[in-house]
Structure 1
Amino acid sequence: MKALFLFAIVALFCPLFGFTTTIAAGSGNDIYAVVEIGASGVKGVVVQTVAENADPENPPIKMLKQYEPLDKNAFTAEAAARVGGAVAQMHRQMVDEFKVPENHFYLVGSSGIPADVKSAIAGKTFLEGTTVEYIDATKEATLVFRGIVPPRRFSQVVVLDIGSGNSKGAYVEKAKPEATFSTYSIPWGTKTYAQEINKGRKDGSQFMVVADPLRKELVLPAVQSAVRDFPGMQNLRRVYLAGGTPWAMATLLHPEEIGPDKKGRESAWVKISVEDIAKYYGKATTDPAGLLQPDLSGVRKENRQKAENEVARVGKVFNHDQLMAGAQILKTFADEMHFERKDAIYFARRALYAWPQGYILEKLAAANAKN
């Protein structure tokens, strides 16, 4: 029966990954889980793959639960020692709540984890019989793209993902007969860049005094090089944003977008303007404490608690230095990619959990290929 489930599910996803097959009749459902060890914490998803999907805008996969990131980040070798407990805790929750089979559980390290931390983690066993699989920036960028971009937009969108460990993105170079991607990345993310800036503050200099020249030395040349090599970054007219800094910006500037509307619908997208990016940059680099205290008067009463929780979570994930560093990276990409010429800029809410879902789809496709 499990083989039939896998065959049916992979049949639905095969067009996305370059495979074609026939959907089996009478197929059922199956449950899978991914725990991601990332530069900003340990987070996870439990999904149910389904045999049918009536929504062509989204993959035929049902999100059963998104596990909020635990503040046990693997950003330093010292912090890595705490990751094991967080992984074990999330794994227990997944098994208790959804009876996730052991062979349907995946432990994955994101591309943003520094090399020295990977070495520290490599020697640890987090769960009996489970090893950590690391994905690189190229793979992560394509999985995020597949996880948030509707197929009808494949040829129109460039994705920009500003993570904690690096910044990366992708766009489709050729859509048919199967999608081929161009991917770009720079080694600076919100936390790695903040860390680099703080290395230069030996004389007690203000953060932005060190950050401004360092941006021109490190971030700007890297972004300009990517734009030269990948012209789609400038030429494609729609930008979909993902990652921690865009999430912080959307949350702090548009808290009114958090939660369902009067009709009970909750949008997966937050529209962002060039003015929003300029406002966020200005506030983050001059008054990060004030940025973390947004005006919630426009939030619907029913959504107030959810908005307060989301705003508070931003302050738990990023300190003031990291907010400033992330704003500099975002502003640099926006300038060099000419966001002012774009037709649309959106933050994709589901991007936080998009690539783990894409990861599951690839595993299913690989299992089908072996059978």
Structure 2
Amino acid sequence: MKKILLVALLFSSVIATGQKIKSQVTYRILQTANTLLEAQQLDAAEEYYKTGLKRAKADFDYYCQALAYQGMGTLYAKLAQKDKAIECYKNAISIYRAQKQMVIASVVENLLKSVQGIGDLYAGIEVGARGIKMSVIDVKLSQDREFDYTLIMDTSINTDAASLSYQSEKETTDAIAVYWGIIKNRLKISPKHVYIVISSGLKQELDKYNKIEYFAKVIRPKDLDTVIKVRWINAQEESELSLLGIVPQKHRYTTDQLDVGSGNTKGGYFNVVKNFIPVTFPVGTKSFQRLLESKTNKDDLNDYVKEAEKIWKDSLYSVVSGYFTDKIDFKQRDILYLSGGIVWSITSLTYPQRVNDNYVELKQNDITAFRNNLINNYDKITQPDYSLVVDYKIAEAAKKNIAQVLKTYDRKAMIAGTIWLDELIKEVNTIKPDKKIIFPKYAYMGWISGYLIKKVTRQYTGFFK
């Protein structure tokens, strides 16, 4: 993350005021080197760093030595001179530690890991109303100082936690215990890198009976490390964490995010002062499907579709359009990150050749066309032409992915979700019809990514209050 590099420079400057710098001339040379580095004047920066380091060694100025090594490490990383970068970063860390500057040493350690290609494993266990899901990701700081996330493991165990019975509590505890065994014994992940979170949907059910604290306590396995806390989040927190985890940093404060779940649709955006503004609707794919089936003959598809369109026109349209009257910023943004099971279905069946892409761009017309094909040409839309996928491995991955889609959603579920989504996005796009819509493949692990981003941010802030 670029912020880490900036934090390193900030700490270097601020800490310097508390150090006994033996030569202001040397310090100014190194500050000039930093400026040249930021300006991409690499040859000149190297000359200034070497000059500053030579002077610092002659004066036994340890802080300036560390600063010079740190800067040279970043310089050589930019020049793809890995061995030199590693050597310089290690020298800087050693000196910072000897000077008891542990925070800046920690920052530089992250820069060192970036060059070495070393990541940290994190595990997130999400306790949901219908199952326990574990995601394990490898987090690495890339050469351009952005965090890269690689999914190592993604698995789930079906439970019925929402029933709030003794049996469901035991099943949940047992599932967490199984995951903890994998995390501790097989993956050797530090307990400090493990998060257990009760989802907002399950929390909503537990809150009806004032049982959230009881539930968090009773599902905790006996041998779970005491460092690990069982936490819970509400819908707004989940939305904010998802946005932080899903949306790349460069778009984070200028874009929208929505997730169409089974029971609701939630997301949000950051306003001009970086406060998170939630956007939530109590409609999702499954909840809309249940509503339609309660009002129609389940064997009559035409009646089902007409009822969906009628509900939108008679009630949902006014709810959605009214909701956005004080959230015009959401409509005015250029980019929308759109996730959820129904979006996954549309993307998978419309662009099977993009199955391995982390981000897939969709158009409003893609959603509308998919809606029409679900109703009028279901066999065609669910049996795409794989001959258009040149790479055999990609074709096989696409087939497997689409089989999972069709196993997860039947025709009526997809129709319900797509009609809701199509009409919702049309309303969102009334101001900017050419809004770029992006499906993030790993959106389902967005909350843990958001946790990590907050963790890193807080690690290096608040020291000067």
- Same fold? TM cut 0.5: yes
Separation of aligned partners in 1, 2:297 and 2:164: 22
Task: Say whether the 8 Å CA contact 1:158–1:238 is kept in structure 2.
Answer: yes
**Contact conserved, 1:237 with 1:344, CA < 8 A, in 2?**
yes
Kindly tell me: are residues 302 and 156 of structure 1, through their superposed partners in 2, closer, same or farther at Cα, counting changes over 3 Å? same
Within 2, Cα distance between the matches of 1:64 and 1:365?
22
Instruction: With a CA cutoff of 8 Å and minimum separation of 6, indicate the structure with the bigger relative contact order.
Output: 1
Matches within 5 A, 1:320-335: 320-335=411-426
Deviation at 1:74?
5.6
Q: What's the CA shift string for 1:181-209, capped at 9, x where partnerless?
A: 22211111222222333333488765334
1:24 to 98, 102, 107: 107
Please report how far the alpha carbon of residue 346 of structure 1 lies from its aligned counterpart in structure 2 after TM superposition. 1.5
Segment of structure 1 superposing worse, 322-331 or 67-76: 67-76
Q: How far 1:109 sits from its partner (Å)?
A: 2.6
Whole-angstrom distance in 2 between the partners of 1:354 and 1:148 = 5
Letter in 1 for 2:152: K
Contact preservation (8 Å) 2:134, 2:155:
yes
State the Cα distance separating 1:14 from its structure 2 match: 11
Residue in 2 that maps onto 1:165: 263
CA deviation string 1:32-52 (max 9, x = no partner): 2111234674332223455x4
Distance change in 2, residues 1:329/1:90 (3 Å): farther
Partner of 2:204: 115
Structure-2 separation of matches of 1:354 and 1:31: 16
Q: Give the partner amino acid of 1:54.
A: Q
What's the RMSD between the two structures over aligned residues?
3.8
- Structure 1: state its 5+ residue gaps: 1-8, 260-266
Query: In structure 1, what is the Cα distance between the partners aligned to 2:261 and 2:433?
Result: 24
Q: Select 2:321's aligned residue among 224, 228, 237.
A: 224
- The aligned counterpart of 1:154 is 252
Matched, 1:127 2:221: yes
Q: Say whether residues 1:358 and 2:450 are aligned partners.
A: yes
Q: Partners in 2 of 1:61 and 1:83 — Cα distance?
A: 31
* Greater C-alpha radius of gyration: 2
Q: Deviations over 1:316-368 (max 9, x none)?
A: 33233321221122112211012762242221112221221112343566677
Match of residue 312 from structure 1 = 403
Contact 2:244 2:449 in 1 (8 A): no
Match of 1:170, SS state, is strand
TM-score normalised by length of structure 2: 0.63
Q: CA deviation at 1:88?
A: 4.0
How is 1:241-320 mapped onto 2 (pairs within 5 angstroms)? 241-259=338-356, 267-286=357-376, 291-299=381-389, 300-320=391-411
Structure with the higher helix share, 1 or 2: 2
TM-score (norm 1): 0.77
Residue type of the partner of 1:115?
A: Q
Task: Please say if residues 36 and 42 of structure 1, whose CA atoms lie closer than 8 Å, have aligned partners that are also in contact.
Answer: yes
Q: 1:34 aligns with which of 99, 120, 124?
A: 124
Structure 1 position 126, deviation (Å): 5.3
Q: State, as a whole percentage, how many aligned pairs show the same letter.
A: 23
Q: Secondary structure at the match of 1:67?
A: strand
Deviation string, structure 1 residues 198-234 (Cα, Å, up to 9, x no partner) = 3334887653344333334553333223321211221
